[in-house]
C-alpha cells in the first residue's frame, strides 16, 4: 500500500511540478548562465574605422502610410555616411498614401539617396527579390516599413560583415517599442510582456545561437546579407508563409555551407508593439506554421536516428518548439480527469497553483538573465518590472495556444497566408458552419412538416 501510494504521489507531483522545471527551467538556467559567463558577441563595434562601402537598404512597402515616414527618418539619423547608402522602397501594389509619405520624407531628408519602385503584383517575396536585383551595394539590408533603426544600426551591421569574412548573413537585434505612459493598462501590460519576450529571444537566445552558428531564422524586420551570397540562393520564395526562414536555410547550402549566420547585438531595430490579441495570434500562427513548413523542405536536418538528430540545431529547436508541445496539450485535458481518478479537488487545485508558482520562478530567472544582458536604455525600466514574473506565465501560456494552432494550420491548410485578424477569421468560420448547420436542420424539419 505504501509503495503504491508513493508511486502515485511521485507520478502526480512529478508531472505537474517537475516537468515545468525540466522543460522551461533548464532553458532559464542556461540563459542565466550564458548571460553571466559570456561576453557580448558580434556587436559590430570593433572600433576599426574603414572607408564606407555601399550598403543597399530595401524597404518593402504595403499600405504603410502610418509608419513609412518614421522608418525613413530613422535612416536619415544613421551615423553611417548617407553617401554610402542607397535606399529602395518597393511599392507592393499599395492602395493607400504610402508614396505620398515617401515623397514627403524624400523632400525632408534630401541627403538620402532614396528611390521608389512600383510593383503591380502583391507579395513581400516578390518585392524583396526585385529590390535585391536592383541593389548595387556590397551589403544588402532589409527592413520592414514599420521598423525604425537605432542610430548606429547600419554602421554596426556593415562593420560586422567587414570584420568577419565568413559572415554571409546576419539578423539585427529586434526590440519592441515602449508604449506612451497614457496608454490603457491592458495594452501596457501586453506591451511589457512582449518586450521581455523579445529581449530574451534576441539579447540572450540569438546570442547563444550565434556562438554555435545555429540561428534558425533571419528576422524579417531587420536582416542583412552579402549581396554575392544572397544572389547565389534561390532568393525569397513564397512557397511557405515564412520566406525569411526559408532563405536562412537556403544560405546554409551555399558553397557547401561555408557561410556563417549570426545576430549582430549592436545593430538594434525597434518594431511597433502589438496592440491586440488578434494581431498577436495572427503573427504567432504564421511564425509557428512557417517554422514547420520550412523544416519540411529540409528533411536531412531532422530525418535521421534520434541520437544523430539531437546533434543538429534544427532538430533541437523542433523538439523544444514542436514535439514537447504535445505533452503540454495532454496535461491540459488530463486535469478534469484527475478528480475522477480519485485525487481530491484540493490536491488538484494545489498542484495547479504550485505549477504556476514554479513557472513564476522560471520567469524570474529569465528576468535576471535579461537584466544582465540589457543595454543602458532599458536597464532602469526593467528594474521596475519584477512583478511581471507573475504575469509572464499567463502570457506564455497564451502564446503556446497560438503556436499550437499554427501547427494545426500547417497540417490542415495550403501554404498561403492572408489573415490579418485571426480571431475575426475564426468567428466568421464558426458563423459560416453554424449557418450551414442551421440551414440543414431547417430543411430536414421542413421535409418532416415540422418547425425548427
pLDDT score of 6 = 61
What angle do helix axes 185-199 and 277-297 make, rounded to 10 degrees? 20
pLDDT score of 226 = 95
Instruction: Mean pLDDT check: name the lowest of 54-68, 165-179, 250-264, 276-290.
Output: 276-290
Q: What is the pLDDT of residues 44-91, one digit of tens each?
A: 555 556 668 999 999 999 989 999 999 999 999 999 999 999 999 999
Nearest partner of 301 among 231, 364, 216, judged by Cα: 216
- How far is residue 190's CA from residue 192's CA, in Å, rounded to a whole number? 6
Cα–Cα distance list, 439 to 255, 431, 434, 449, 452 (Å) = 60, 12, 9, 15, 10
Nearest partner of 278 among 270, 269, 286, judged by Cα: 286
Res 156 pLDDT > 90: yes
Contacts of 337 (CB under 8 A, 6+ apart): none
Cα–Cα distance list, 424 to 186, 278, 297, 410, 428 (Å) = 20, 7, 31, 19, 6
pLDDT score of 151 = 93
Coil vs helix vs strand at 40: coil
List the grid coordinates of 333: 485535458
Instruction: Mean pLDDT check: name the lowest of 25-34, 202-211, 304-313, 418-427.
Output: 418-427
Contact between 285 and 406 (Cβ < 8 Å): yes
pLDDT score of 452 = 45
Res 33 pLDDT > 60: yes
pLDDT score of 388 = 86
Coil vs helix vs strand at 116: strand
Residue with cell 525632408: 108
Q: Check residues 79 and 42 and name the one with the higher pLDDT.
A: 79
Contact between 70 and 290 (Cβ < 8 Å): no
Mean pLDDT of 305-313: 62
What residue spans of 200-324 are helical by DSSP H? 206-211, 227-230, 243-252, 277-297, 306-309, 313-318
Amino acid at each position: 500500500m505504501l509503495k503504491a501510494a508513493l508511486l502515485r504521489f511521485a507520478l502526480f507531483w512529478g508531472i505537474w511540478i517537475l516537468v515545468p522545471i525540466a522543460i522551461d527551467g533548464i532553458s532559464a538556467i542556461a540563459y542565466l548562465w550564458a548571460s553571466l559567463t559570456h561576453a557580448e558577441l558580434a556587436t559590430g563595434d570593433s572600433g576599426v574605422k574603414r572607408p564606407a562601402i555601399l550598403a543597399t537598404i530595401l524597404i518593402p512597402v504595403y499600405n504603410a502610410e502610418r509608419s513609412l515616414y518614421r522608418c525613413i527618418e530613422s535612416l536619415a539619423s544613421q551615423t553611417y555616411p548617407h553617401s554610402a547608402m542607397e535606399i529602395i522602397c518597393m511599392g507592393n501594389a499599395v492602395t493607400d498614401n504610402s508614396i505620398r509619405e515617401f515623397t514627403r520624407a524624400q523632400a525632408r531628408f534630401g541627403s538620402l539617396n532614396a528611390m521608389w519602385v512600383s510593383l503591380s503584383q502583391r507579395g513581400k517575396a516578390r518585392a524583396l527579390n526585385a529590390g535585391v536585383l536592383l541593389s548595387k551595394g556590397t551589403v544588402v539590408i532589409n527592413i520592414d516599413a514599420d521598423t525604425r533603426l537605432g542610430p548606429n544600426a547600419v554602421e554596426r551591421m556593415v562593420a560586422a560583415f567587414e570584420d568577419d569574412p565568413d559572415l554571409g548573413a546576419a539578423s539585427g537585434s529586434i526590440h519592441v517599442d515602449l508604449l506612451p505612459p497614457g496608454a490603457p493598462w491592458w495594452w501596457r501590460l501586453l506591451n511589457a510582456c512582449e518586450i521581455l519576450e523579445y529581449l530574451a529571444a534576441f539579447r540572450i537566445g540569438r546570442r547563444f545561437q550565434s556562438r554555435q552558428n545555429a540561428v534558425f531564422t533571419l528576422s524579417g524586420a531587420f536582416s542583412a546579407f552579402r549581396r554575392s551570397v544572397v544572389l547565389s540562393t534561390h532568393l525569397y520564395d513564397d512557397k511557405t508563409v515564412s520566406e525569411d526562414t526559408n532563405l536562412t536555410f537556403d544560405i546554409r547550402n551555399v558553397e557547401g555551407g561555408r557561410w556563417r549566420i549570426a545576430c549582430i547585438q549592436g545593430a538594434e531595430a525597434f518594431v511597433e508593439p502589438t496592440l491586440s490579441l488578434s494581431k498577436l495570434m495572427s503573427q504567432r500562427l504564421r511564425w509557428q506554421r512557417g517554422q514547420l513548413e520550412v523544416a519540411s523542405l529540409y528533411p536531412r536536418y531532422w530525418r535521421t536516428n534520434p541520437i544523430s538528430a539531437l546533434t543538429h540545431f534544427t532538430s533541437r529547436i523542433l523538439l523544444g518548439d514542436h514535439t514537447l508541445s504535445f505533452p503540454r496539450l495532454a496535461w491540459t485535458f488530463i486535469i478534469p480527469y484527475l478528480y475522477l481518478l480519485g485525487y481530491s479537488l484540493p490536491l488538484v487545485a494545489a498542484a495547479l497553483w504550485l505549477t504556476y508558482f514554479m513557472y513564476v520562478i522560471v520567469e524570474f530567472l529569465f528576468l535576471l538573465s535579461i537584466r544582465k544582458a540589457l543595454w543602458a536604455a532599458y536597464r532602469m525600466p526593467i528594474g521596475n518590472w519584477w512583478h511581471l514574473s507573475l504575469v509572464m506565465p499567463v502570457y506564455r501560456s497564451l502564446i503556446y495556444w497560438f503556436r499550437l494552432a499554427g501547427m494545426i494550420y500547417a497540417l490542415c491548410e495550403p501554404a498561403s497566408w492572408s489573415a490579418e485578424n485571426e480571431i475575426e477569421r475564426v468567428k466568421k468560420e464558426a458563423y459560416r458552419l453554424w449557418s450551414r448547420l442551421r440551414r440543414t436542420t431547417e430543411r430536414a424539419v421542413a421535409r418532416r412538416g415540422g418547425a425548427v
